[in-house]
Amino acid sequence: MRPISAPFPISRFRRLRQTPALRALAQENTLSVGDLIWPVFVRDGVGLREPIASMPGVARLSVDLVVRAAEEAAALGIPAICLFPYTDPTLKTEDCAEAWNPDNLTNRAPRAIKAVVPDIAVMTDVALDPYNANGHDGLVRNGVILNDETLEALVRQALVQADSGADIIGPSDMMDGGIGALRQALEVAGHKNVVLMSYAAKYASAFYGPFRDAVGASGPLKGDKKTYQMNAANSDEAMRLIERDLAEGADMVMVKPGMPYLDIIRRAKDMFGAPTYAYQVSGEYAMIRGAADRGWIDGEKAMLESLMAFRRAGCDGVLTYFAPEAARAIKAAAQNGWLDHDKTMMESMLAFKRAGADGVLTYFARDIARLLK
């Protein structure tokens, strides 16, 4: 599509920026609470909230408090919560056996959440780094991260998570063939409805540091992850990986990190049209939060601007540690007049009539009847 516009002064782009109403009419993208997934860190214990120094405002929560977080998310309208465990160092081994323990943190938490908040979607992480004595996402032998042997471990891990009630499984390991192996195993085990969100384009990034602190993987990590995570200089490779994972059975794809890779998001959405997500990772969060806490930027505005950037780039949703804060800000924006509820509702109903509908099934029925009387 090539935009057509007349030369100045016949064409003045500022005309559509004069008032909030005109800006709203010309707005191309929107951000809603339904676009958010909230990553939450889980730790052992009861009634424990352990702040994470490198992620101000974020804490590791015991399972009972994770359930409360899920209740908060549901009340705000956040559709999904994503769980990451902080594993006791004494349980970390070279064979990563704790990863498929039915009673580990990752598996206890979904059961507890579903007992109280059954309708929220629970996403779990498939990778070995929280359970690995050396901090890597795969099994290691003689300093080499093993691919095919790791797949067997990941399948065991994913099946237990599905048994525990995970709605979405996010394999973040970046092993070749992982999506195909997981999809086949889930089908055979009767978990045909479990969703796979592939971390297809996961880059070896400097922005993961605070996350590794949060899950306790920084200390054990030997070397780096460049033999299995992507080179930050590559974009064509990301498209090949996304195509492969979709062909192997991924339902959704993710680009990680988010903000430094908006070009990858745009290319992926344009090329494949699949449900596409970004992970606004710990380093991105920490930069915005840290600058806001020091008064260098307006934290709320920067948060919302960054999330809108993902939507503008083509994302269907975003994993973000800002999720509850963003949800409250989005709701407040509507209540504060950025969105006139009655006018927007009536405008949407009129659009159906204008398009030729004889009637409309709508949850706004009572509100509309009140206004029409």
142-166: per-residue pLDDT in tens? Answer: 999 999 999 999 999 999 999 999 9
pLDDT class of 24 with cuts at 50, 70, 90: confident
pLDDT band of residue 340 (cuts 50, 70, 90) is low
User: Which residue intervals of the chain bear CATH 3.20.20.70?
Assistant: 14-336
d(C-alpha 220, C-alpha 208), whole Å: 15
Task: Quote the percentage of the chain above a pLDDT of 90.
Answer: 77
**pLDDT at residue 182 above 70?**
yes
Q: Which fold has domain 14-336?
A: TIM Barrel (3.20.20)
pLDDT in tens, 279-311: 999 999 999 999 999 999 999 999 999 999 999
- pLDDT of 259 strictly over 70: yes
More confident residue, 10 or 100: 100
71: burial class by Cβ within 10 Å (0-12, 13-18, 19+)?
middle
225 a catalytic residue: no
The reply to whether 353 belongs to the active site is no
Quickly state the pLDDT bin for 367 (edges 50, 70, 90): confident
User: How does pLDDT run across 31-71, given as a tens digit for each residue?
Assistant: 999 999 999 999 999 999 999 999 999 999 999 999 999 99
Number of Cβ within a 10 Å radius of residue 8: 8
Residue range 206-222: mean pLDDT, rounded: 84
Q: How high is the pLDDT of residue 41?
A: 98
Which position among 92, 114, 225, 256 bears the catalytic label?
Answer: 256
Residue range 200-218: mean pLDDT, rounded? 90
Give the whole-number percent of the chain exceeding pLDDT 70. Answer: 97
Q: What is the pLDDT of residue 316?
A: 96
Query: Active-site residue among 202, 269, 301, 331?
Result: 202
Mean pLDDT of 89-100: 96
> What is the average pLDDT score of the chain?
93
Residue at token pair 């299995």: 228
pLDDT confidence bin for 338, thresholds 50/70/90: very low
Average pLDDT over every residue of 334-348: 65
Judge if pTM exceeds 0.85. yes
